[in-house]
Amino acid sequence: MTVCPWARENFAPVFDELNRRKAIVFLHRTVASCCMNLRGLPGDKEFIIDDLRTLNSLLTGGTLARCPDLRLIHAHGTKTLPWVAHHIGAGGGGEGRGGGRGNPAYAPQGVLHELQKIYVDTAGNSQDTMDDMRELGMMDQIMFGTDNPYGGSDAVRENLNRLMGFQLTQDELDAIGRGTALKLLPKFA
């Protein structure tokens, strides 16, 4: 995996300062200016690629390992976090899960150890992505998200109904609804 050296050099001081402050950072994609009319389609078709680039860069560039006190909330991350976990060292034969000799230099304690610093919301998720998060042992990193006002109150209601239909345990629903957010922001308990 390669990471853009310009980005690593220029953003490292920013992430280092956020780490020093033990910051919680909310990451949300936007339409890339380079892709506004990608093959005649809206620029939002590039969203998932932007998410993957971001997570891949934070992981393989070593930012997550270098900044252990930085906590990230990745909007719509249930779609991309499992993909990164499965395809960059944490899937298949178990390499990169932590504690083994096969851990990459950018994740000395394992890919999953580093990815557990990233929290995700439920906006736009699916049963498959929730199942992937459960399989990876990452259900305690999910919090409720709506992407409101995009789609309005109907989208919020639809997301809640979809979430309820995922056959989640009551403990999982409680964590998603409030518990995970309180873990990140205990002063609001």
How far is it, in rounded angstroms, from Cα 85 to Cα 17? 26
Residue-level pLDDT at 93? 41
Dig out the tokens for 89 from the structure: 């060292």
Where in the chain are the domains?
A: 16-188
CATH number of 16-188: 3.20.20.140
Residue-level pLDDT at 184? 92
In the block, tokens 């308990």 appear at 189
Residue-level pLDDT at 48? 76
Residue-level pLDDT at 2? 43
pLDDT tens over the chain, length 189 residues: 345 566 667 889 999 999 999 999 998 877 666 655 666 666 566 777 788 888 888 998 899 999 999 999 988 877 788 888 888 765 444 444 444 457 888 999 999 999 988 998 887 666 777 888 888 888 899 888 877 666 666 766 776 667 666 778 888 888 988 999 999 999 988
Order across the sheet with 142-143: list the strands. Answer: 24-27, 71-74, 118-121, 142-143
How far is it, in rounded angstroms, from Cα 46 to Cα 38? 8
Residue-level pLDDT at 97? 47
How far is it, in rounded angstroms, from Cα 57 to Cα 84? 11
Residues 6+ apart with CB under 8 A from 142: 78, 119, 120, 121, 122, 130, 133, 175, 176, 180
Q: Are strands 118-121 and 142-143 parallel, antiparallel or unpaired?
A: parallel
93-104: burial string, b at 16+ Cβ within 10 Å, e else: eeebbbeeeebb
Question: Which residues on adjacent β-strands are paired with residue 166?
Answer: none
Considering only CA atoms, which of 72, 85, 59, 63 is closest in space to residue 28? Answer: 72
